[in-house]
Chains A and B, each alone.
Chain A
Amino acid sequence: MNIQTQPRLSAAESALIDAYNASFGDLPGNGAVASARDRLLDDLKTNGLPTRRIEAWHYTDLKTLLRAVPTETSTAVIDAQTPFVAGSPVLAVLQGKIDTKASVEGVVVGAFADMLREGTAAPGLSVIDGDDAIGRINGSFVRDGYVLEVPADAELETPLEIQAIHGGGQVHTRFPVSFGANSKATVIERHAATGDGAAFVSSVSDISIGDGADVTWVIVQQQGADDTHLGQIRIRVGADAKLKLFVINAGGKLVRQELRIDVAGENAELTLRGVNLLGGDTHTDVTLVLAHNVPNTSSTEVFRNVVFDRARGVFQGMIKVALDAQKTDAKMSCNTLLLSDDADFSAKPELEIFADDVVCGHGATVADIDDNHLYYLMARGIPENKARAMLVNAFVAEIVEELEDEQLVEALEGIISAWLVKHA
């Protein structure tokens, strides 16, 4: 980290520090948790929010972009929404608070607030590295979340939906989830806003995938037009495990979604997919740090972005292959459709390879809609607007179709087309 000389606090930084002080005694946690929180907040005071001078935040200068942090929390009554997949069990998190009576068949459900009070959460209230601003903010302020354990060999028949919904204000949640050996499950992590009140949301999902488990995790981010969303998912993948991770960003004003993945067991197979639907005057950053730490693992990463209006998008994708992670097979691509002259997308794929017997590659493209495709559709009588929408939709829908659950595919396609109707 670089040394800062007398940092001048931005309005957002002051507001965060004030909010922390104001919630003294109110944030759940025993002594160990309280001191962990204090340490994280001290770091925040000393370092401030990250700026473009920090490499990991180069394209998302949080200090400048985060203008304000709301202090008022909405008191609106919020109801859980119908799940994406009919019949899914829903674990609602309304205004940052879980339903303590919620239960899901076959899953052990606990409250993160309890872990805070008991102090078992303290070791986890840490940063991944010195630039982990999301870990820092979330660790300082987190109040609640679900703690889930899918037992070994369990198989969940329908996707489980974590539904984090708010009506504005500050919301800080954390979801420690463990998938036992040879278990099989699909989890949807959905973040959405109901009201108009601006929100400042941080959410960390801390996931461990046991050997031989088969996990699909879908993050759907549909925050409101004035919301800041700082999301982080930390995943440790065991041997012979399969992970499919899908991220859809379709909302928010200022969004950073970090994917921090450690491949820790041999023969693990990862499928990472992302769709960013960006419009208006917004800033959205997806940052992936994927570490292949052991031999014989494979991953494919495909990110598709469509950018309208004055929206700005960022994809940072770092694949690290450790010295003894021989036979790693990793392929990353990031394709962007820029649909307006003022739209902007920065892609920064990176490989850091220490092993010598690996197949790794990456590619990034930025394009407009293919004129030949547009002409073909129009030559069949499809008006230009409609033809364009079809092609944009096709560009991202391809990714979604890789999910096996048909109802889930339909639900996500629905999100995409609804978004396009509104923004295209």
Chain B
Amino acid sequence: MLEIKNLHARIAEDGTEIIRGLNLTVKAGEVAAIMGPNGSGKSTLSYILSGRSDYEVTEGEILYNGESILELDPAERASKGIFLAFQYPVEIPGVATMQFLKVAMNEQRKARGEEELTTPEFIRRVKESAAELKINMDMLKRPLNVGFSGGEKKRAEILQMALLQPQLCVLDETDSGLDIDALKIVADGVNALKSPDRATIVITHYQRLLDYIVPDSVHVLYKGQIIRSGDKELALELEANGYADIIGAAA
């Protein structure tokens, strides 16, 4: 589903290279975990997948369902099914959450040539997903993410994911800021979306999330490259020993 080949990318503004020859393949149905020390480029990779214009790809290729997505803007990628749950969701004052959800769902449907949702159908879906994620509907009456607690923001991201039904889900440290109960609820939400034609990339620092969302593969990102890949045992090894050995071996 996703093939990243020898990807090099830099910050558009100052030319600093962050991703330096990264290779990664994620198959349909797979859950891939990406781990790595702070500042290694995990969030940057997720932004590049989503098409954020602050980064420039200078070399390499990103193939999604066999096609390059490098020329597509974030909205086009989203309507093709790429979803990024942000590490730090932004607050947007003045944009009502419900209105935002409705516009997002309907714009994606329009882009795919599907009928727009009626208002009752839209509300039904939001209520259903919100209930599963234990999100209070009152929270959704507020402007988008404004005044949401850290955990509420993360839950709201998963709510969006549940409503938009993406094909490739990228979760950037969705576990940080969540209490233990919320972690379980959010993990259930992610697992509920698991299907043979969907893939999930989970960026995390902790094994705890991977106890709930069990990965098929684990990749270590360091200085803009994947320096080691393995199965779920690799995450346990990292949890026990830290990154030093792996970084040492790769150097």
Contact = CB atoms under 8 A, between A and B. Distances in A.
B92 A379 contact: no
Interface string A376-397: 1111111110110011011111
Contacts of B104: 377, 380-382
A354 interface: no
Given A375-B53, A376-B89, A383 B95 contact: no
A41 to B, nearest CB: 46
Contacts of B94: 391, 393-398
B197 interface: no
Contacts of B107: 381-383, 386
Nearest to A401: B94
A365 interface: no
B90 A372 contact: yes
Given A386-B107, A390-B103, A394-B95, A378 B73 contact: yes
A373 interface: yes
Given A381-B104, A381-B111, A382-B103, A375 B95 contact: no
A380 B92 contact: no
Nearest to A385: B75
B189 to A, nearest CB: 17
Contacts of B89: 376
A379 B93 contact: no
A379 B164 CA distance: 11
A377 B89 CA distance: 11
Interface residues of A, number: 23
B74 interface: yes
Contacts of A397: 94
Interface in B146-198: 160, 164
A381 B79 contact: yes
B53 to A, nearest CB: 7
Contacts of A386: 103, 107
Given A379-B50, A379-B84, A387 B75 contact: yes
Nearest to A394: B94
Given A375-B52, A391-B95, A383 B90 contact: no
A375 B92 CA distance: 11
Contacts of B143: 394
Given A375-B52, A381-B107, A386-B103, A398 B75 contact: no
Contacts of B93: 394, 398
Among B53, B78, B89, max chain A CB count under 10 A is at: B78
A27 B81 CA distance: 69
A381 B52 contact: no
Contact of B78 (A379, A390, A398): A379
Contacts of A371: 53-54
B44 interface: no
A17 B160 CA distance: 64
A382 B104 CA distance: 5
A70 to B, nearest CB: 39
B75 to A, nearest CB: 4
B115 to A, nearest CB: 16
A394 B86 CA distance: 22
Interface string A347-369: 00000000000000000000000
Given A386-B107, A390-B103, A381 B75 contact: yes
Nearest to B75: A378
A419 to B, nearest CB: 16
B73 A391 contact: no
B92 A381 contact: no
Nearest to B112: A381
A394 B92 contact: yes
Interface string B49-88: 0111110000000000000000001110111000010100
A378 B90 contact: no
A381 B95 contact: no
B108 interface: yes
Contacts of A378: 51, 73-75, 78
Interface in A143-173: none
A377 B100 contact: yes
B13 to A, nearest CB: 11
A387 B73 CA distance: 13
Given A375-B52, A376-B90, A382 B95 contact: no
Nearest to B111: A381
B84 to A, nearest CB: 6
A386 B108 CA distance: 12
A238 B111 CA distance: 57
Contacts of A380: 78, 100, 104, 108, 160, 164
A383 B92 contact: no
Contact of B73 (A384, A393, A396): A384
Contacts of A373: 90, 92
Contact of A383 (B52, B75, B86, B100): B75
A384 B75 contact: yes
B84 A381 contact: no
B108 A381 contact: yes
A398 B50 CA distance: 29
Among A371, A375, A379, A395, max chain B CB count under 10 A is at: A379
Contacts of B92: 373, 376-377, 391, 394
A150 B123 CA distance: 44
Interface string B204-235: 00000000000000000000000000000000
Interface of B: 50-54, 73-75, 77-79, 84, 86, 89-90, 92-95, 100, 103-104, 107-108, 111, 143, 160, 164
Which 5 pairs from chain A and chain B are nearest by CB?
Answer: A394-B94, A381-B78, A381-B108, A378-B74, A380-B104
Interface of A: 371-373, 375-384, 386-387, 390-391, 393-398
Given A377-B100, A391-B94, A393-B94, 9 more contacts: A371-B53, A377-B95, A378-B73, A381-B78, A381-B104, A382-B107, A387-B75, A394-B93, A394-B94
6 contacts: A371-B53, A375-B52, A375-B74, A377-B104, A382-B104, A386-B103
